[in-house]
């Protein structure tokens, strides 16, 4: 059974706060074709790929469980 959360549901309030913070910080997170995450600075339109520090593999989750780096192409 699918249930829609109301705007007053505690978890919906948390998610809306996260969206507000990301909007204030000009950040958007999206998935890429490699199954990883792109983190975009919407003010400058610069895209960063999130990669694992050790393996340099694209990371699929945010927040990530280990240390990660952001890379961009010039």
Question: Which strand (E) or helix (H) includes residue 38?
Answer: strand 37-41
- Return phi, psi of residue 16, to 5°: -65, -35
According to DSSP H, which parts of the chain are helical? 10-24
pLDDT of residue 15: 96
Peptide bond into 38 cis (omega under 30): no
pLDDT of residue 34: 85
**pLDDT tens-place values along the chain, 74 residues long:** 999 999 999 999 999 999 999 999 999 999 998 889 999 999 999 999 999 999 999 999 988 889 999 999 87
């Amino acid at each position: 059974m699918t249930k829609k959360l109301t705007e007053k549901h505690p978890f919906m309030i948390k998610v809306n706060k996260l969206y507000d913070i990301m909007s204030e910080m000009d950040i958007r997170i999206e998935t890429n074709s490699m199954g990883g995450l792109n983190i975009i600075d919407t003010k400058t339109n610069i895209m960063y790929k999130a990669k694992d520090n050790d393996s340099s593999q694209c990371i699929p989750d945010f927040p990530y469980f280990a240390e990660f780096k952001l890379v961009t192409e010039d």
